[in-house]
Structure 1
Amino acid sequence: MSKDVSVVGLDAILSELGAFGRYNIMNYALILFPCYLAGMYGAVYIFEAGDISYRCEVKQCESLGNTSLWLDYAIPKEKGKYSKCFKYPSRGSDCTADAFNTGSKEKCTSFVYSDEDSVVKDFNLGCKNWKRTLVGTFHNSGLFISLPLTGIISDKFGRKKALSFAALMNCIFGFSRSFSTSYIMLVVLEFLEAGLGAGAYTTAFVIAMELVGPKGRVFGNTIINTLYVFGLMSLAGLAWILQDWRKLLRIIYAPSCFVFTYLWILNESIRWLISKGRHDEALKVIKKAAKMNKVQISEQSLAPLQKMENKLAEGKDEVADQPKKSVFLQAIKSSIIRRRLLTCSFLWITCTFVYYGLSINSVSLAGNKYINFMLVAFIEIPANFTCFLVLDKFGRKRVLIIMYILSAILCISLSFLPKDKIWWSLAVYLAGKYSITVAYSSVYIYVSEVFPTNVRQSLLAVCSSTGRVGSTLAPLTPLLALYYENLPSIFFGTMAIIAGLLVFTMPETINMPLPDSIEDAERLSKVSRHKTNA
């Protein structure tokens, strides 16, 4: 019912409002804050449950301190370092070379931890790497619930209500997690915080994409992703300064309580209001935006919207008596939308798996783990500006294909670099993160452009939540390196090659208006094929 209004009227209205008016800037500023916070929330488990130095406790020798005088004959070495999990069996209560049987090893039952900060130390997770990495897996598995849930709330009740709800959940469960007294309490709160609050970023992103016309989407996405990167870098800086995961959680989650006030101060998405037939409210927001931007919207642009509102007012009782059909189910019944949904989900899985995998494994690189993480995060800024420069020039498909394949080549090439070439390895590592970031940023824009408005966030949430299979498995990739050091990189490269090939089956969306109905979304494939044949 709002299809004609949305396509014909709204893009013209947005064009007349301008891309950088006061209304747009103020709303974007509000949207950017939860995006900045999301950068910290999505990766905090890396420092919260980071691996630290520890060794077996040898009770009869502990009074002597950490010295090689007794460590050499009490603790075996693995790859030139003292073992974390094994010690030589003791023959007695003395701390002498003869008191240990260096011909065999036994597993540790207690540990001596370094002064480094981590839940590993607080909850005695020594030599339980699976428990440590599960913290990140619990966090990311929560997104399987959060993204569809937030998508349903957003598409049914409004974007700002979904954003405010998610922010409140971040505040409650994230802040509470800092008071965890056990490992079980920690992972349960980790799951609940992500499971109910992680949809804040995708909701803010959808609001931003619906706030501007086709020409402003790529620039808006670049700004959002840049703030997300600043969040990542701020996280590493705070973790480095504080050296206390509990204080870190309290500092980063407290501001999320402010975002809950967006329920009263943020303007609802005009495009969403129109898709719900609430044209009178949409007109009020448009007039408010025009007043703030000091522009006059032409009657010609407003006419379709006013006409549709009058029609709805006249036939209100008739419409109310008609049975309501699920738009989501109608969308899923379309074979084109179904195939597109499956393909976009795999593209998302690949992006999250490689993106988070490289971020997580960066703290294992030689050197300062905080600086390494900052560098791997900082490389996303030029990657996002690359998106801004190339997406509107070369199109979405071409950029995605090139970046997926390039990421695959770089990740696999890490396997062939000599281990003593630290700077070469870091350079290739950063280049791999750069290319997958370009792909990830492009996927966010691309997916928002191939689905209709009335189910856009629901379908985007399906892709994003399915894609979290990748981010859920990513925290476990350091365990693969225990079997074969280059196995994570090989997995990353293989996934990226498959994703690059799948992009060939998708339509091009450059300079196309956002589809507002299922028919509009299906028509994209026909238009894309027509342009290709021409």
Structure 2
Amino acid sequence: MRDYDEITAFLGERGPYHWFIFFLLSLSIFPNGFGGLTILFVGDVPEHRCLIPGNLNLSEAWLNRTIPLVQERDKLQYSKCSRYRLDVIMNLSATFPDSDSFNMSEVEQEPCLDGWEYSKEQYISTIVSEWDLVCDNDWKTPLSMSIYFVGVLVGSFFSGMLSDRFGRKKVLFGTMAIQTGFNMLQVFSPNWEIFCLFNFLIGIGNISNYVAAFVLGSELVGKSIRIAFSTMGIGIFYALGYMFLPLVAYFIRSWKMLLFTLSLFGLLYIPLWWFIPESPRWLLSKGRIQEAEAIIRLIAKKNGVTPPTVIFTELELEDLKGKNVKSFGITDLIKTRNTRAITVINLPVWMILAIGYYGLILNTPNLHGDDYLNCFLFGASEIPAYVATWIFLQKLPRKFTLSGTLLFGGGVLFFIQLVPSNLPILTTVLTLFGKFGITIAFAIAYSYTAELYPTVIRNTGVGMSSMASRLGSIISPYFSFLGVYHEFLPFILMGGLTVFSAILVLFLPETINIPLPDTISQMQKIKGFKGTFSNCCYFQKNGTSRENNTIVIKEEEF
């Protein structure tokens, strides 16, 4: 019995229409590159200090002494969260006209009872200056991003089910509308709580849109270009969106105008509805035979090939509509000793990957140099990272490539603390290299995990791993938040965890040049370092090529 790929082999794999769909679906990912990362500029903390009411009868000299000086990061600067008691200052100003003649260390301090004044040097406004998310409320800024990632977690859970039920195309454009609509509404948030609610909903739309585009593309493009689609296509357009964010933010310094301007780009994708078809595979699974056949004939026409008079025989139609098979669930990931060991290793590795990837992105404002240039360079680093991933997936062993890139990325981050304080640019460069390594590792992890699990639990295995990464992304804002208190602490923690995950990966079996397992009994066994290494070398030497069998399942990275 022929499967779908055999039945539609007459379409070819690299026809003009395949590349057309490749480009359009990759283009639809462009807004995802900046959708979740706007908090870098929208939620950045401007320079600030306590507001001193303008109705005080104080000389300029005494006004300058109302804010205490504190030591922060090896330099003396005005306190951001306290001031000297104004009633005492008023009495002192009357007694000591010369402010320098009095030792201010004896004056009691108080919090910023009248609010704060914010520097306009870099931003006209951010959500921090809008709702005073500083001092006792500084925890709200990283929580804003964590809530977005909670939305991503929820979207990851439901996007696959929605796509299977309502169709890839409807979910793709429906979630794109959700993402665009709530981005626009977020501009009108009356308070921080409503802003976070919209952030949650945007997170749901962002990841659901990404997953739908990936699945639809995987089912429409030819088998031989699926790896390129998930790396060179989706990955690079995501990176281009990431690079686009600082370019727009540089010219628009108001958080409301920035969000509104970026949300308008979603409207440009409305015409794609008439150019991107539904997945014929999904239509066949729902018994919509005529619609599926019409799309297949359209693809044949666009590719310049003549379809057969009868595409599906009656017997094949019955087979394509599905068979009664045993169902598998989450518990099957831990039922056997081997699946349990692989799952127990996979979950923390994926969580650490997300902590490192998003933690570095969100730590961008804490780095030396221009925030906009640093953000652009971080986005640009993803392009060679995805190109490298595409090259690595063709021939190199999965386990040692993944472990090596994790070791490289984590090692670079861990040793940033040794950089002399007079070389801050070197810290930024090393951070860039660290993110480059972690980005490659994140992209490889999708392919490697899909190859570790058999067909019967592959989606479940990749799905649970992805859920673990979402948990990592939820706590990642607080890793970057630690940089406010200690410059190198985020790098020490993220670097140490990433090196630890590189060691964990070495316990996993190799999968290159080994046929994809269909059943749990066919899975590779965990044998330890020596057994795994010899197994890897044997298959590299004697195995057959697996390029066309490689599965890459890539969701949002941002």
Flag whether TM exceeds 0.5 (same fold): yes
Deviation digits for residues 36-81 of structure 1 (CA, Å, limit 9, x no counterpart)? 110111211221111111101222688989x787434633232322
Give the alignment of 1:433-472 within 5 angstroms: 433-449=435-451, 460-472=462-474
Tell me the distance in 2 between the aligned counterparts of 1:252 and 1:218: 29
User: Which residue of structure 1 aligns with residue 243 of structure 2?
Assistant: 233
User: Which residue of structure 2 aligns with residue 93 of structure 1?
Assistant: 90
Pairing partner for 2:425 from 423, 426, 446:
423
Deviation digits for residues 122-169 of structure 1 (CA, Å, limit 9, x no counterpart)? 112232210122111111111121111112112333322322222121
Unaligned runs of 5+ in 1: none
Amino acid at match of 1:198: I
**Distance change >3 Å, CA 290–CA 346, structure 1 → 2:** farther
Structure 1, 427-436 or 384-393: larger mean CA deviation: 384-393
Pairing partner for 2:397 from 395, 398, 422:
395
User: Which residue of structure 1 aligns with residue 133 of structure 2?
Assistant: 125
CA contact (8 A) 2:405 2:440 kept: yes
Tell me the distance in 2 between the aligned counterparts of 1:525 and 1:139: 37
CA contact (8 A) 2:448 2:511 kept: yes
User: Which residue of structure 2 aligns with residue 166 of structure 1?
Assistant: 175
**Distance change >3 Å, CA 214–CA 406, structure 1 → 2:** farther
User: How many equivalent pairs are there?
Assistant: 515
Q: Name the TM-score, length of structure 1 as normaliser.
A: 0.84
Q: Does 1:76 align with 2:76?
A: no
User: Which residue of structure 2 aligns with residue 43 of structure 1?
Assistant: 37
Amino acid at match of 1:120: V
Deviation digits for residues 225-250 of structure 1 (CA, Å, limit 9, x no counterpart)? 11111111111111111111112212
Shift of 1:499: 2.3
Give the alignment of 1:95-494 within 5 angstroms: 97=99, 101-103=104-106, 104-109=108-113, 110-115=115-120, 116=123, 117-127=125-135, 128-213=137-222, 215-220=224-229, 221-257=231-267, 259=269, 265-273=275-283, 282-296=292-306, 306=313, 308-312=315-319, 326=327, 328=329, 335=336, 340-341=342-343, 343-449=345-451, 460-494=462-496
**Distance change >3 Å, CA 14–CA 488, structure 1 → 2:** farther
CA contact (8 A) 2:334 2:343 kept: no
Shift of 1:348: 2.6
**Distance change >3 Å, CA 448–CA 491, structure 1 → 2:** same
User: Which residue of structure 1 aligns with residue 524 of structure 2?
Assistant: 525
CA contact (8 A) 2:66 2:89 kept: no
Tell me the distance in 2 between the aligned counterparts of 1:526 and 1:367: 48
**SS of the residue aligned with 2:117?**
strand
CA contact (8 A) 1:415 1:490 kept: yes
**SS of the residue aligned with 1:81?**
strand
Deviation digits for residues 157-197 of structure 1 (CA, Å, limit 9, x no counterpart)? 33223222221211222211011111111111111221344
**Distance change >3 Å, CA 181–CA 293, structure 1 → 2:** same
CA contact (8 A) 2:454 2:522 kept: no
**SS of the residue aligned with 2:49?**
strand
**SS of the residue aligned with 2:190?**
coil
Tell me the distance in 2 between the aligned counterparts of 1:307 and 1:502: 50
User: Which residue of structure 1 aligns with residue 15 of structure 2?
Assistant: 21
CA contact (8 A) 1:275 1:453 kept: no
Deviation digits for residues 92-151 of structure 1 (CA, Å, limit 9, x no counterpart)? 436662788433433222211122221111112232210122111111111121111112
Deviation digits for residues 384-441 of structure 1 (CA, Å, limit 9, x no counterpart)? 1111222212133232111011111111011111121122212211110110111112
Amino acid at match of 1:111: W
Tell me the distance in 2 between the aligned counterparts of 1:498 and 1:213: 38
**Distance change >3 Å, CA 479–CA 61, structure 1 → 2:** farther
**Distance change >3 Å, CA 278–CA 41, structure 1 → 2:** same
Deviation digits for residues 194-239 of structure 1 (CA, Å, limit 9, x no counterpart)? 1344321122123333444554233222221111111111111111
**SS of the residue aligned with 1:250?**
helix
User: Which residue of structure 1 aligns with residue 548 of structure 2?
Assistant: none
Deviation digits for residues 290-317 of structure 1 (CA, Å, limit 9, x no counterpart)? 2211235689xx98x646435459x99x
CA contact (8 A) 1:387 1:438 kept: yes
Q: Which has the higher helix share?
A: 1
Deviation digits for residues 431-484 of structure 1 (CA, Å, limit 9, x no counterpart)? 101101111122233345556778766654433233111211111123323443
Tell me the distance in 1 between the aligned counterparts of 2:304 and 2:149: 44
Structure 1, 106-115 or 237-246: larger mean CA deviation: 106-115
Tell me the distance in 2 between the aligned counterparts of 1:291 and 1:188: 46
Tell me the distance in 2 between the aligned counterparts of 1:13 and 1:63: 87
Tell me the distance in 2 between the aligned counterparts of 1:353 and 1:166: 25
**SS of the residue aligned with 1:77?**
strand
CA contact (8 A) 1:272 1:453 kept: no
CA contact (8 A) 2:35 2:206 kept: no
Shift of 1:527: 13
**Distance change >3 Å, CA 172–CA 452, structure 1 → 2:** farther
Structure 1, 443-452 or 169-178: larger mean CA deviation: 443-452
**Distance change >3 Å, CA 272–CA 333, structure 1 → 2:** farther
Amino acid at match of 2:161: I
**SS of the residue aligned with 2:45?**
coil
**Distance change >3 Å, CA 395–CA 23, structure 1 → 2:** farther
**SS of the residue aligned with 1:398?**
helix
Tell me the distance in 2 between the aligned counterparts of 1:419 and 1:401: 30
**Distance change >3 Å, CA 272–CA 330, structure 1 → 2:** farther
